[in-house]
Amino acid sequence: MENLLQIVIYFPLFAVIAVLLARKEEWIKWIALTATSITFFLSLPLIFNFDISQSHIPQYLTEGPSILSGFDVKYLIGLDGLSLLLFMLTTLFGPIVVLSSWTSIKKHLKGYYSMLLLLQTASLGVFASLDLVVFYVFFELSLIPMYFLIGIWGSTDRIQATVKFFIYTMVGSLIMLVALLYLGFYAGGIHPEFSFVSDWRYIAGPEVQIGLVEQTWMFLAFALAFCIKVPLFPFHTWLPYAHTEAPTAGSVVLAAIMLKVGTYGLLRFTMPVFPNAFMEFAPWLAVLAVIGIIYGALVAMVQKDVKRLVAYSSVSHLGFVVLGIFAFNTVAVQGAIIQMINHGLSTGALFLIVGMIYDRRHTRLIKDFGGIATVVPVFAVMFMIATLSSIGLPGLNGFIGEFLILNGTFFSELYDNAAFAVIGALGVILAAVYMLWMYQRVMFGPIKHEENKTLKDLNLREVGLLLPLVLFMVWIGIRSEDFTRYSEVWVEHYIEETKDKSVAVLQNTRGEDLPDWTARIYELDSEGLSDTEWVYKD
Amino acid sequence: MDLSTALVCLIIGLPLAGFFINGVLGLISSSYRENKPLIGTIANVAVFAPFLIALYLFFNHSADASAVVVTLFTWIDVGTLTVDIAYRIDQLSLLMVLVVTGVGAFIHLYSIGYMGHDPGYWKFFAYLNLFIFAMLNLVMGNNLLLLFLGWEGVGLCSYLLIGFWYKDMAKSDAAKKAFIYNRVGDFAFLIGMFMVFQTVGSLDFDVILGNLEAFSSEYLFWIGLLFFIGATGKSAQIPLFVWLPDAMAGPTSVSALIHAATMVTSGIYLITRLSEMYVLSPEVMLIVSVIGGLTAIVAATIALTQNDIKRVLAYSTVSQLGYMFLALGAGGFTAAMFHVVTHAFFKACLFLGSGSVIHTMEHVGEKLKKEGKEVDFDPQDIRFMGGLRKSMPSTYKTFLIATIAIAGIPPLAGFFSKDEILMHAFSAGLGEYAGSLYMILWGVGIATAFLTAFYMFRLTFSTFHGKFKLPEKVKEASGAESHLHESPVSMTLPLWVLAVASVIGGFMGIPNFVVETFTGQTANINLLHPWLDTIAADYPIVMGKAVEWLLMGLAVAIAAGAVWIAWKMYGEGRVEESDAVVTAKTGVFYKVWQEKYNFDEFYEALVVRPVVRFSDRVLAVFDMKVVDGFVNAVGGTVRLFGSLIRYVQSGVISSYALYLVIGVILVMAMMLS
C-alpha cells in the first residue's frame, strides 16, 4: 500500500515524460487523460483500505533516511484522516481538469499538459508529506506550474495576475520558511539525537512544547502564509485576479485544491504545534473570517464578471472554513474539513461551468448573457445544481459544511460569543442573494444578444466531467457520515492533544521571565498561569 | 424491512422517483417530452399512490397510538451531533400527509389539463413531484434538521415553479424574491436549531420535547421567537409576507398547491409540532398572536382593493394564515391545524377555479387574435370578467361553494374552523396574561371575518355575475363571449372534489357543545381534538355554553352581514362603480390599502438599495483601491528600494572597494567609540 501511495503521487510526473516525448499533438491530451485517470483509479484502494479507527496515525508511510547527519530531515510520506479526503479530491479532479481543457487549449499543448500533470504531483505531495521540509518543497513546487498556467494560457491581463499571485504567495511562504527553520531547530533542541527535526509526527506530538514567545511568532508566520493561501480577508486580493485570468483548468485547480492547502495547513501545523497561540488568536482570526464571509459575499454581489463573482464567493466560503477551524470543537472542525471538500466540488464545478460558457461566447460578463436557459437546458440544470450546492441547500453538500461549522461556532468555548455564528449565518442569506441574482441575469429573462440564440448545449464530454461532481454533491448532502468518518478520530485526538499541550506549556511557563506583551496576550497573572480555565474541565 | 418502513419508503420515494423519471428523461429525450400522457400518468401515480398509502396508515393508527419512527440511515454523525434520515408517523404528521398528498393529488390531476399546452409540461410535473417529496420530508421528518431539509426544499420548488415562465424577467424576479425572503426566515430557523442543540445535544423531536426542563426561560423565548421568524418567512406573515403575492407569477395550480394549501402552512405545522415548548413562553405566544392578527387584517384590507383575481386570493391566503397564527398564539393549536385543513380545501378550490377562469380568458384572447383582432387585456383582471356563470357552470358553482366556506357561513368548512379560532382568542382574552390584548385580537379577528366575507363575495360576484365586460371595455373584443367555455373534466373534477370537501370538511371539528346543548349529555362528536390530543398542547376554553353560542351567533351575523352588503354592491357585477363607493367611504385608508402599506418600497429603500449601493460604490472600490492598493504599495516600496540598491550593485569592482573601505571605517569607528 505504501508503494501504491508513491505510485499515485509520482505517476503524473512520469506521464510528463510521455507527454514530452509524444510525437503527435493529439496524443498529448490522451496521455494526460489516461495518466490522471489511472492515478485516480489507483488512489481508490487508499481510501478503501484506510483504517478509520486509527485516522490520527499516518498510514501507508514511506520513510526515507535522513538527508543530513544530525538533521532529522527525511522523505516522509503518508496519509491520515486530515489529508485523505483532500488527497482523494485531488486525484478526482485530475481527469476532470484534463477533460475540461480538451478543446479550449489550442497552443503549446505539450507545455500545458506537462504543467497540469506536474501540478497534480505537487498537489498530491503537499497533502501527503509529513515532513515539514518536504511539505515546503511540494508547497513551492505547486506554485511553479500554476505560475506558467496563468502566465501562458491565461486571458488578457494574465501577466499582472500571475506576478501578483506568485509574489504574494511567495512572501507568505518565505516568512513561513524562516519560521519553519526556527521550528526545526527548536524541536531539535528537545530531541535527544538530532539538532534539527522536521518530522510532523514528532513536532505535533506531546514532547515538543514550545514557549509562549516562540509560539506566538511562529504561529503568526505560519498563519500569515496559510491565510494568504486561503485567502482570508484582507489577504485575498490576489485571488480575483488569478481566478479571472487563469484558464479554466487553472481556476479549477486553484479553487478546488490549492486554496485548501491554506486551510489544511492551518489545521495540520498551527493547531497541534502552537496550541496556546492557536487558542489565543482564534477569536481574532474568527473576526477576519466573519468579515471575509460578509465582505466576500457583498463584493461578489456587485461583480460584473461571472468568474470574479465566483472568486469572491470563494473568499466568503473559505471564511466559513477558517471560522470552523478556530472554533476548535469536533463539530466545527469536522464541518471545516468537509467544507473544504464541498468548496472544492461546488466552486470547482462553477468554474468548469463558467469555462464552458466562456468557450462558447468568449466573454464572462453577466450582461453579455441573459435568457439562455431555453437554449442550453442541460447546461442550465448543471449550473443550477452547482449554484444550489454553493448556496448551501439542504440535501446537497454545502449545507452540511455550513451547518456543522455554524453550529459548532455557536457553542465554541474559544469564541464564547454567539455573534460569530449569527453574523456568519447572515452569509447564508447573502449567498442566496448573489448566486441567484447572477443565475437569473445569466439564464433567465428574454434573450438579449443574437449570438446567444445559437449557443450549443453541453456535449457528452462536458456532461461527463460534471456528473461525478454532482454525484458527490448529492452523496455528501444526504450521507455526510460516509465522508466525515475518515477524519473523526483525527479531529478528536488532536483537539484533545492540543488542549493538553496548551496546559502543559502554561505550567512550564510558571515563573519564567516573559516579556510584558505575552502577559497581555495570554492573560497571565503573576504566577504565570492563565485564566483559560475551560482547558482543565473535561 | 417491516411494513411501516416499506410504506414510508413508498410515500417518500414515489414522488422522488416521479421527479427523477420525468426530470431526467424529459431533459435528455425530446420524444419523451412529447409523450404527455405518460408524463402526466407517472406524475399522478407518484402522488395518488402515497395518498392511498397514507389513508391506509391513517386508518391503522389510533388516536392514542404512539409515534412510529422509521429510521432509514445516518445523515450526519459528527462528534456529539447525530442526525438520522428518520420519518415519523404520528397523528399530526398523518394529518399533514393526508392534506399534502390528498389535495396535491387532485391538483396534479387538474394540472394535466391546465398545463396541457405548455412546452415545459415534463419539467412542470417533475418540479411538482419534487415539491411533494420535499413537503413530505417537512411534515414527516423526525428531527428539526430533516424538517429543515423539507423546509428549504419546498422553498426551492417554490422558486423553480414561480419562475417557471422564466423568460419573463418579472416572473424570475418574483421567484428570486420568494427564495430570498424565505432565506431570511431560514436564517432565524438555523440559529434556533443551534440553540436547541446547545441545550439538549440533539435535534430529535422526542428528545427536545422530552427535555423541556433543560431550557432556560430565556432560551425558550429566543428559540420560540426564532422559529416563529422562520415561520413568518415560509408562511408569509408580517414582516416577511411580501413575497407571496408576487409568487402568483407561477402557474395557477402551483399557487393552489404550494402557495395556498400546503407549503405556506409549514409554519403552523412547525409551531404545532413544538406546541409543548411554545406554551412555556407566554411572551412568544403573545407575539405570535399579535403578528398573526395584524397580518390577518392588513392582508384582508389589501385584498379589498385588488383587481387581479389571483392577487385577491393571495392576500386572502396571507390573511387566513394570519388567522392561524392568531389561533396558535392563543393556545388553539388544534384550531389552527383545523383551519389548515379546511383552508387547504376551499383555498385550493378557489385557486383552481381562478385557474379555470384565467384559462378561459386566455383562450378568449387567443381566439380573438386568431380572428385578427388586436386585443390587449390582462386575463387575470376581474374588471374584464363578469357573467361567467352562464358559460362556466361548474367553475361558478364550486367557486361559490368555496367562497361561502371561506366566508364562514355555516355549516361549511370554514365556519367551524374560524369559529374555533375566534373562540380561542376570546378565551385567551379572559385569561390573566395580556387578557386585554387578546381581547383586542379577538376584535381584529371579527373585523377580519367581516372583511373576508366582503372581499371574497366581491370577487365572486365580479367574476361570475352581471354581464361579460370584456366586449364593453375593449372595442375590438366584440363577440368574445362566444369563445367562453367550461374547462375540461380533468379540471372540473378536482374542483368538485375540493368543493365537496369544503362543504363537509368542517364536520370533523364540530364543537362538542353544539351537540351537548341539544342532547344534554357530554358529546364526543369532535374528531380532531382527540386525534391531536397527544401533540397539541391546547389551552382549555374557559367559557359557558351560552357565551359560546353567543360568539358563534355573532360570527355568523357578521359574516352574513358582509355577504349581504357585498350582494347589494357587487351582486350585479358592477365592480368599478362599487369600488368607487368603497373608495369614497374609506378615503385615505383606501389609498394605503391599495398601495399595500408600501412594505415593498420600504424594504427596497431601507435594505436592498443601500446594501447594493454600499457594496458597489464603497466595498468594491475599497477592495480594489485600499486593500489591494495597500498590497501594491508594499510591492511598490520594495521595488523602489530594489531600484535604489540596484545602483549600488553596479558591477564595477572599484566602487565595491570603496564600499569596503567605508564599511571598515564605520566598524572601526563603532569599536572605538
Tell me the C-alpha distance between A215 and A212, whole Å. 5
ipTM > 0.85 for the complex: yes
B150 to chain A: nearest residue by CA? A394
Residues B525 and B379 in one domain: yes
Query: DSSP 3-state assignment of A401?
Result: helix
Give buried/exposed letters for B587-622 (b at 16+ CB in 10 A, else e).
eeebebbbebbebbeebeeeeeeebeeebbeebbee
CA B89 to each of CA A450, B71, B72, B587: distance values in angstroms, whole numbers, following the listed order: 54, 11, 14, 52
Q: Do B351 and B439 belong to one domain?
A: yes
| Cell matching residue A218 | 511562529
- Residue B636, sorted as left (phi over 0), alpha (psi -120 to 50) or beta, turns out to be alpha
pLDDT category, A535, cuts 50, 70, 90?
Answer: very low
Q: How far apart are CA A162 and CA A251, in angstroms?
A: 12
- Give the gap in angstroms from C-alpha B187 to the nearest C-alpha of chain A: 6
Residue A377: its chain B contacts at CB < 8 A? 27
Phi, psi of B574 (to 5 degrees): -85, 80
Does residue B447 sit in the same domain as residue B506? yes
The amino acid sitting at B417 is S
Q: Is residue B286 part of a domain?
A: no
Residues A410-419: tens digit of each pLDDT = 999 898 899 9
Mind giving me the DSSP string for B343-361? HHHHHHHHHHHHHHHHHHH
Spell out the residues 6+ positions from residue B56 whose beta carbon is closer than 8 angstroms to its own.
B7
Provide the residue range defining the domain that includes B148. 1-280
Pairwise CA distance, residues A342 & A471, whole Å:
12
- Is B542 contained in some domain? yes
Q: What are phi and psi of A73, to 5 degrees?
A: -110, 120
Mean pLDDT score, A457-479:
94
Question: From its phi and psi, is residue B29 left (phi > 0), alpha (psi between -120 and 50) or beta?
Answer: beta
Give how far Cα B21 sits from Cα of A277, A321, B14, B257, Å: 55, 36, 10, 21
B-chain CB neighbours of A422 within 8 Å are 191
Q: Report the gap between the CA of A316 and the closest CA in chain B (Å).
A: 14
DSSP helix/strand/coil, B19: helix
**How much is the pTM?**
0.93
Q: Name the grid cell of B489.
A: 373534466
Cα Rg of chain A, angstroms: 23
State how far residue B172 is from chain A, nearest Cα, in angstroms: 7
* Residues B46/B15, Cβ–Cβ less than 8 Å: yes
Phi, psi of B170 (to 5 degrees): -65, -35
Looking at the structure, tell me whether residues B632 and B503 fall in a common domain: no
CB nearest B77 (choices: A168, A433, A481): A481
Do B152 and A393 count as a contact with CB atoms less than 8 A apart?
yes
**B87 and B52 share one domain:** yes
Q: Which residues of A touch B191 (CB under 8 A)?
A: 410, 418, 421-422, 425
pLDDT in tens, A22-48: 888 888 999 999 999 999 999 999 999
Neighbour-count burial of A517, counting CB atoms closer than 10 A to its CB (0-12 exposed, 13-18 middle, 19+ buried): exposed
Tell me if B12 is assigned to some domain.
yes
Nearest CB partner across the interface for A432, out of B168, B172, B180: B180
**B164 located within any domain:** yes
Are B190 and A406 within 8 A, CB to CB?
yes
* Stretch A377-390: mean pLDDT: 95
Q: Is residue B292 part of a domain?
A: no
Least confident of A67-71, A99-103, B196-200, B612-616: A67-71
Domain boundary among B594, B613, B630: B594
| Chain A hits for B186, Cβ within 8 Å | 428-429
Strand A71-72 with A196-197, pairing? parallel
Give the pLDDT score at A378: 94
Of B280, B314, B333, the last residue of a domain is B280
Tally the domains of chain B: 3
| Residue B312 and residue B332 in one domain | yes
The verdict on B637 and B583 lying in the same domain is no
What span, in angstroms and rounded, lies between the C-alpha atoms of B216 and A317? 33
- A411 contacts B198? CB cut-off 8 A: yes
Q: Does a structural domain hold residue B287? A: no
Q: Is residue B269 part of a domain?
A: yes
Do B559 and B663 belong to one domain?
A: no
Q: Taking a C-beta distance cutoff of 8 angstroms, is the pair A10, A42 a contact?
A: no
Whether residue B166 sits in one domain with residue B139: yes
User: Do B503 and B625 share a domain, yes or no?
Assistant: no
Q: Is B343 inside a domain boundary?
A: yes
Report helix, strand or coil for A66: strand
Q: Tens digits of per-residue pLDDT, A320-366?
A: 999 999 999 999 999 999 999 999 999 999 999 999 999 999 999 99
B149 and B126: one domain? yes
Single out the residue in B538, B573, B594 at which a domain terminates. B594
DSSP structural state of residue B482: G
Letter for the amino acid at B284? V
Closest CA to A316 of A381, A405, A419, A414: A405
Cell 491530451, residue?
Answer: A29
Give the residues of chain B that fall short of pLDDT 50.
none
pLDDT for B82: 93
Residues in A touching B71 (Cβ below 8 Å): none
Strand partners, B73: B85
Q: Using CA atoms, how far apart are residues B214 and A493, in angstroms rounded to an integer?
A: 30
Integer CA distances (angstroms), A258 to A7, A387, B598, in order: 21, 21, 49
Please answer whether residues A254 and A146 qualify as being in contact, where contact means their C-beta atoms are separated by less than 8 angstroms: yes
Distance from CA of B507 to the nearest CA of A (A): 39
Same domain, B417 and B319: yes
**What pLDDT score does A536 carry?**
39
C-alpha Rg value of chain B to the nearest Å? 31
